[in-house]
Amino acid sequence: MVLSIVGLWLTYFVLVTLRGVVVGLEFQEALLWRRLTVCLAGGGITFGMWLVLRLVDASGLMVKTATALVVALPAAAMIAQVNQMVFADVQEELYQKYAEEQGVVIRRDEAGNLLLEIPPLPRGEPSRAAARQAVDPQSGRTLVLAPAPKGAERWRQLSEIALGRYFLLLAWAALYLAMLAGAQARAAQAREERFRTAAKAAELRSLRYQINPHFLFNTLNSLSSLVITGKDTRAEAMIQAVSNFYRHSLAEEPTEDVALEDEIALQRDYLAIEEVRFPERLLVDIDLPAHLERARVPGMILQPLVENSVRYAVARSTTPVHVTVQAFDIDGRLHLVVADDGPGLDDSSGGGFGIGLSNVRDRLRARFGNRAQVLTGKAPDGGYRTELIMPLDFNDE
């Protein structure tokens, strides 16, 4: 804001100086430093005006506008007073130069009146001043050119100067208020963006944590069944698999993306748990190209889909079921497919307590907006297939 004040008075100084050069004002050197003095004083007074305006920065537009209108009045009066004081002697120099050119004497008396003295001249040689004033050239005469300014006259002269400075200050105040409004708008936008980011992170965290209780509930039920039926060895293997799964799944920040190879490794841990339950029926096929291993994906985004295949295909089948996890890229977009060849999943099912597919859709929408897609339905050859399409990103920051 200080730069705007400097720019205001520097522009004023340049424009007024150029005007003086164009119209041919005399005493340019004397006027130059005096004009600079007025501009420096004006800059200081404007800075003080800015300090007052800052007090109402948080107020409404009406309050700020009214404050600017009121504060500009004394500020303009002070600048006008400085202007009169600085340029007073220049005016006297102009009078004296005029007097020399006209052959008369111009002076001020003790009361401050501006007097014109016309000296007596030899007959036949009237001066131009005497002729204009119809004065007898043989007798000198003193005229009052301008009475000393008093009372209302003095204030009239001051107000004429102050009026121009008032509107100059109002123009700067309007610029300041516009810049302030822009800064406040940008700050509000930044706050809104921070709140939006925080809300998005909270949503992602909530959706991520919905998965763990649901999966844990199913796993504990299966573990309980193994213990009740006396299958201690398989129960012990499941406990170890569950430990590995949670150690990996809880190590990641819920709102951050993970490498695709880590996401696939997590699903291997999960399927290892389910293989303890279904050693004869669960057949796993994972296809992850090497060039996609470091691609970034939302953590545990495949978990509900793999769990649905186990729950609705493997668990309901009496014959072996292939669960396939596949990754590939097309035109800069990552495709993740989870499919099975089991009896099939009803299209209307969301997969487990309303989480499943709806959870995946919500997470992808929160993370990528309309840049992500979820294609799901019964596979042509039987079973169920879900395909996730999202931007292909290798940025690990």
The overall pTM is greater than 0.75: no
**Residue 310 DSSP class:** I
Is 13:54 a contact under the CB 8 Å cutoff? no
Strands 114-118 and 141-146: antiparallel
Angle between helical axes of 2-23 and 28-54 (0-180°, round to 10):
150
Domain with CATH 3.30.565.10 in the chain: 231-391
- 185-236 pLDDT tens trace: 888 888 888 887 777 667 656 655 655 566 677 678 878 887 888 888 888 8
Helices (H) and strands (E) in the chain, counts: 9, 10
- 92-142 pLDDT tens trace: 666 666 666 666 676 666 666 666 666 665 555 555 544 444 444 445 566
The neighbour count for residue 332, using CB atoms within 10 Å, is 8
Tell whether domain 231-391 is in CATH 3.30.565.10: yes
**If you average pLDDT over every residue of the chain, what do you get?**
79
Nearest Cα to Cα of residue 166 among 86, 84, 65, 68: 68
